[in-house]
Amino acid sequence: MDLFTARPGSLASRPGLILGWLFATAVAVLAYWPGLGGPFVFDDFGSIGALGQTGGVTDWESFRAFVFGGHAGPTGRPVALVTFLFDANNWPADSWPFKRTNLIIHLVNGLLLGALTQQILRALRYPARDAAWIALFAAAIWLLHPFLVSTTLYAVQRMAQLATLFIFAGLLVYVRARQQVEENPVRAYWTMSVALPVFTLLAMLSKENGVLLPILAGVVELTIFRSRATPLNRYWGYLFIGLPSVALLLYLGVRSADGRFFEAVEPRNFSRWERLLTEMRILVDYLRHWFVPELYTAGVFQDHVQKSTGLLTPVTTLLSLLLHAALAAFAVLLRRRAPLLALAVLFFYASHLLESTVLNLELYFEHRNYLAGAFLALPLLALAQHRLPVWQFFTVCILVCGLLAGFTRYSATIWRDYPSMVAAAAQKAPGSARAQSQFALNLYNAGRHDDAIIVIEAAQQEMPYDTAVDVTRTTLLCNMGVLTPEQFAGFSERMAQRTFDPRAVNLLTAMLDGILSQRCPAVTAADAGTMFLRMARLPGNADRGTLRYSQLQYFIGLSALSAGDLRQAVESFERSLQARPGASHAMLMAAHLATLEHYEEALHFSSIALRQFDRDANNLLTTERVRREDIVAFQEQVRAERDAAPVDATGDP
């Protein structure tokens, strides 16, 4: 008998199963309910906020601009974007409908996972009732796991949810058809031939890791069917599973062999080699969170993960690599005796193939386990069902699900509002610059100025070289009116020695706004401009084709404009646009110029914006935050104000 097989006919009947599914669904809804009223965060404002870029989605043109103008990934993710229109068609919008729909998708995914798991168990000759109950508890554990809270309640992660939905659906159709290969091969192969490409395409257009569907079907084939069913037609397997899998691996190989594998590429401060090493440790942490869940996690604040710079720095990098190699080898070697264990292990690693290897993404995100965790509980459940009496099996499963539901309910309560999310993350991750900075800003906005300074200065002691913490501290001192020239000089000196991180642009914008608004009288616009000029001269910031160069030139121009140096402002704005063209970017500069009554210069930059908009008009992958009619209306208004302005003795306005 294979490992993890069942005792025939040992579990209960269909009415109990129906009640079990209803109960699991109800518990999941109750667990997530407090978080449905939570706020939009981070990437929500970029992807979902695009609803308002054209004044709302009200006709075909605005629909096309929103659905086919996504910028979250290479495909634009139009399938995911079109589902956001079920919840709102303009911005700002209420977050509740978006999170409600996310929860519905999560519940549907749980049902699909349960159906898929049941089919896999039936393919392994589990009795129908045993397969149904094990599948129910496996799906319930996945549905209620607190490590998936951030995926479900982070509105924009609907993209990950939908990709998972189509992958589960594609695998379900594949597994059902695969079991019919011997009895009705023509129908089976036609079904699989349609299902894999169609569901792969739908998954990819939701999020790019949908491309993993063929490789995941290969995992199921290797672990579940290879030695237990009629062999798959080799040519069909080569075409529909082998070829897409090899193409994906070649793509990753090409991305690794472009000559910059050991160089940090903006906006990251780690190379792809360092990322690959670091992911070895992160994958272990993902597994730890899955098998030893915590009451709550740092959620979306995961920038505290320290990168690995070598196999022995830290030594846990090598230990993690050895663990993964051993698990993968064990899964392959024992795939006949322990198919469910092999499935869980290889499915986990295959699901991380795109996002947890060499692509230039951030290091750590919990949502990467939404798909990867699908079968992690399954071998343990099968083993428990095999070894325990029925009443003990049910008792253990219900207790585990209840514990997970409680943890999820607590995490969802934290997600109820942004201050609680930030406070929890700051406590959970003292090394997260984002969490500490946001926590200090929240305290300041709540009127707790002294507490805000205590938090940010403690963070600076912990992270003395972090830009976000340093900028936040300077901004708070400025807004409180206590920033001294000596403190700003020290800050400027530190910034002039660091390669600028483009992700700090919003923090620097807030700091500069405080200076230009004269909330810190000891620091002038000229002082800020000098700091940005020094930063721009640093070799790491001086590449004219980079985002950091464009942003620094914009800050130089804005500082110069406020200081009264119009020539420097125009030159810097133009350099910024040369590095990163964009109609919205140009219009922002035009608006600053018009506000200070530099009408001709404002018209010049709005004309640049108009030309850029027209160049991008036929590009479905480009979405601008301004409309052509807005630019034209701006120009008309500026001309009217220019013509109405009094003139001096030279005849100039």
For the segment 561-576, what is each residue's pLDDT rounded down to a tens digit? Answer: 999 999 999 999 999 9
The pLDDT assigned to 438 comes to 92
The pLDDT assigned to 13 comes to 65
Res. 620: pLDDT tops 50? no
Res. 36: pLDDT tops 80? yes
* Residue 193 sits in the same domain as residue 326: yes
The pLDDT assigned to 72 comes to 82
d(CA 277, CA 22): 43
The pLDDT assigned to 12 comes to 53
d(CA 278, CA 296): 23
Identify the domain containing residue 520 by its residue range.
474-644
Q: Which of 118-132, 409-423, 626-640 is predicted with the least confidence, judged by mean pLDDT? A: 626-640
What are phi and psi for residue 262, nearest 5 degrees?
-105, 15
* Residue 408 sits in the same domain as residue 478: no
In a domain, 77, yes or no: no
Residue 3 gets which letter from DSSP? T
What are phi and psi for residue 362, nearest 5 degrees?
-65, 160
* Residue 244 sits in the same domain as residue 343: yes
For the segment 536-556, what is each residue's pLDDT rounded down to a tens digit? Answer: 999 888 888 888 899 999 999
- DSSP letters, 209-245, are GGGGHHHHHHHHIIIIITTTSSPPPHHHHIIIIIHHH
The pLDDT assigned to 8 comes to 45
User: 170-174: long-range contacts at Cβ-Cβ below 8 A with a sequence spacing of 24 or more?
Assistant: 170/195, 170/196, 170/198, 170/199, 170/200, 170/203, 170/213, 170/217, 171/116, 171/213, 171/216, 171/217, 171/220, 172/112, 172/115, 172/116, 172/119, 173/199, 174/217, 174/220
User: Do residues 151 and 161 lie in contact, with contact meaning Cβ atoms separated by under 8 Å?
Assistant: yes
For a pLDDT cut of 70, what percent of the chain falls above it?
96
* Residue 405 sits in the same domain as residue 553: no
In a domain, 439, yes or no: no
For the segment 417-447, what is each residue's pLDDT rounded down to a tens digit? Answer: 999 999 999 999 999 999 999 999 999 999 9
Angle of helix 433-445 versus helix 449-462 axis, rounded to 10: 170
d(CA 186, CA 190): 6
Upper half-sphere CA count for residue 114 (Cβ side, 13 Å): 24
In a domain, 1, yes or no: no
* Residue 382 sits in the same domain as residue 519: no
Res. 619: pLDDT tops 60? no
To the question of pTM greater than 0.95 for the whole model, the response is no
User: Do residues 147 and 290 lie in contact, with contact meaning Cβ atoms separated by under 8 Å?
Assistant: yes
Q: Number of folded domains in the chain? A: 2
What sign for the dihedral angle of Cα 457, 528, 583, 637? positive
Residue 37 gets which letter from DSSP? G
Terminal Cα distance for the chain, rounded: 92
In three-state form (DSSP H/G/I as H, E/B as E, the rest C), the secondary structure along 56-107 is CCCCHHHHHHHHCCCCCCCCCCHHHHHHHCCCCCCCCCCHHHHHHHHHHHHH
In a domain, 435, yes or no: no
* Residue 249 sits in the same domain as residue 334: yes
The pLDDT assigned to 356 comes to 95
- Split at pLDDT 50, 70, 90, the class of 267 is confident
d(CA 136, CA 24): 8
* Cα–Cα distances in angstroms (integers) from residue 397 to residues 115, 340, 604, 641, in the given order: 18, 18, 68, 72
* Residue 179 sits in the same domain as residue 286: yes
> Domain boundary at 381, 414, 447, which?
414
Res. 618: pLDDT tops 70? no
In a domain, 106, yes or no: yes
Q: By three-state DSSP, how is residue 310 classified?
A: strand
Residue for token pair 């969170």: 289
* Residue 356 sits in the same domain as residue 486: no
- The residues, any chain, with a CB within 8 Å of residue 484's CB and separated by 6 or more, are 522
In a domain, 215, yes or no: yes
For the segment 90-140, what is each residue's pLDDT rounded down to a tens digit? Answer: 988 999 999 999 999 999 999 999 999 999 999 999 999 999 999 999 999
* Residue 490 sits in the same domain as residue 626: yes
* Residue 404 sits in the same domain as residue 478: no
- The residues, any chain, with a CB within 8 Å of residue 589's CB and separated by 6 or more, are 554, 557, 573, 576, 577, 605
For the segment 2-27, what is each residue's pLDDT rounded down to a tens digit? Answer: 444 444 444 556 788 899 999 999 99
For the segment 474-511, what is each residue's pLDDT rounded down to a tens digit? Answer: 999 999 989 999 999 999 999 988 888 877 888 899 99
Res. 648: pLDDT tops 80? no
d(CA 193, CA 185): 12
Residue 374 gets which letter from DSSP? T
Q: By three-state DSSP, how is residue 116 classified?
A: helix
In a domain, 650, yes or no: no
Q: Which of 256-265, 382-391, 592-601 is predicted with the least confidence, judged by mean pLDDT? A: 256-265
Q: By three-state DSSP, how is residue 598 classified?
A: coil
Which CATH number characterizes residue 506's domain? 1.25.40.10
Instruction: Give counts: helices (H), strands (E), the chain.
Output: 30, 0
For the segment 150-172, what is each residue's pLDDT rounded down to a tens digit? Answer: 999 999 999 999 999 999 999 99
Whole-number average pLDDT of the chain: 91
Q: Which of 190-194, 211-215, 415-419 is predicted with the least confidence, judged by mean pLDDT? A: 415-419
Average the pLDDT over 200-226 and give the result.
Answer: 96
Res. 33: pLDDT tops 80? yes
* Residue 393 sits in the same domain as residue 501: no
> Domain boundary at 363, 398, 414, which?
414
- The residues, any chain, with a CB within 8 Å of residue 538's CB and separated by 6 or more, are 496, 497, 498, 499, 500
Dmax (CA) of the chain: 101
Q: How many CB atoms neighbour CB 414 within 10 A?
A: 23
* Residue 552 sits in the same domain as residue 620: yes
Residue 40 gets which letter from DSSP? P
d(CA 385, CA 130): 8
> Domain boundary at 391, 414, 437, which?
414
For the segment 66-91, what is each residue's pLDDT rounded down to a tens digit? Answer: 898 888 888 999 999 999 999 999 98
d(CA 275, CA 221): 30
Residue for token pair 């119009």: 566
In a domain, 268, yes or no: yes
Upper half-sphere CA count for residue 373 (Cβ side, 13 Å): 30
